[in-house]
């Protein structure tokens, strides 16, 4: 039963963090415009792939998960 409780707490913390990111994302103008983000426009076609932003978010989440597992 303690495993279920731990899982529910972790899921709750993740939901709170995701909610905070959605609230604070518009206030971070550099998020989505980092070096390494690929943007391509030609005529009516535009392509955007936030590679740098994905790497940054991955590093932050990896650090958070590492700290939770300790």
- Residue 43, SS3? coil
Whether this model's pTM surpasses 0.85: no
Q: Please determine, for residue 1, whether its predicted confidence score (pLDDT) is greater than 70.
A: no
**Rounded Cα gap, residues 3 and 67, in angstroms:** 18
- Per-residue model confidence as pLDDT tens digits over 22-58: 888 788 787 778 888 999 999 999 999 999 989 988 9
* Backbone conformation region of residue 6, classed left if phi is above 0, alpha if psi is from -120 to 50, else beta: alpha
């Amino acid at each position: 039963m303690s495993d279920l409780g731990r899982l529910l707490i972790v899921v709750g913390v993740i939901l709170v963090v995701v909610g905070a990111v959605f609230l604070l994302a518009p206030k971070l103008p550099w998020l989505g415009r980092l070096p390494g983000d690929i943007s391509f426009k030609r005529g009516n076609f535009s392509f955007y792939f936030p590679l740098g932003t994905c790497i940054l978010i991955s590093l932050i989440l990896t650090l958070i998960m590492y700290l939770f597992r300790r």
